[in-house]
């Protein structure tokens, strides 16, 4: 009896064991097809690097440490006199100065410059502005100034600037009296002519 039951169990397990013949055949066929469709590897084209050509020497090094030296010891070409005592109007930029009028006495002409509600008298030769500007000529409609600015090589170059006569609308808040600078104002005589806008 026991042998019969054991044989029945063995046959039952054998009957329940699945067959993978179809799966094995499919996998074999798939591998074969995959090998047929392999795309051959193409070697990439490598462009040879270009030879490095260093730039030609174009002047002093832009990062030269000597450019960091104090202005008082800098000796660039055409350097201004940094030991000169600065005049009052050198504390203002030209954008903050207004040319409000002039006074002519014979062949001598003086200009009136307004800065922070004060009017200063200037003549050719006075310094003005923050770029070492020097007044070259005063006319009835403008003041011509020569400034000195530093270039990238530490040298100083000249440039011309103009301070035009302010319009009437800009002159409405002028003080009634003029405050002269340390420079003497132009003498006022019988032939003096005041020119304002």
Structure tokens at 24: 């094995």
| Alpha-carbon span 60 to 65, nearest angstrom | 11
The CATH architecture to which 68-196 belongs is Roll (2.30)
State percent of the chain over pLDDT 90.
35
Distance of CA 71 to the CA centre of its chain: 22
- Looking at residues 71-83, what average pLDDT do you find? 66
For position 59, what pLDDT does the model report? 63
Higher pLDDT, 64 or 158: 158
| Alpha-carbon span 92 to 80, nearest angstrom | 18
Structure tokens at 41: 């590897």
Q: pLDDT confidence of 71, banded at 50, 70, 90?
A: very low
């Amino acid at each position: 009896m026991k042998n019969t039951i054991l044989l029945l169990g063995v046959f039952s397990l054998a009957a329940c064991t699945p067959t993978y013949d179809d799966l094995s055949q499919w996998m074999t066929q798939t591998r074969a097809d995959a090998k047929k469709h392999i795309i051959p590897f193409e070697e990439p084209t490598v462009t040879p690097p270009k030879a490095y050509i260093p730039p030609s020497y174009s002047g002093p090094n832009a990062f030269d440490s000597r450019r960091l030296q104090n202005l008082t010891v800098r000796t660039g070409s055409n350097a201004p006199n940094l030991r000169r005592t600065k005049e009052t109007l050198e504390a203002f930029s030209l954008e903050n100065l207004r040319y409000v009028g002039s006074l002519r006495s014979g062949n001598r002409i003086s200009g009136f410059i307004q800065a922070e509600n004060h009017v200063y008298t200037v003549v050719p030769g006075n310094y003005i502005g923050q770029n070492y500007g020097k007044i070259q000529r005063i006319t009835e409609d403008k003041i011509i100034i020569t400034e000195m600015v530093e270039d990238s090589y530490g040298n100083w170059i000249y440039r011309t600037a103009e301070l035009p006569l302010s319009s009437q609308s800009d002159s409405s808040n002028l003080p009634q009296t003029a405050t002269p600078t340390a420079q003497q104002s132009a003498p006022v005589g019988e032939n003096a002519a005041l020119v304002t806008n």
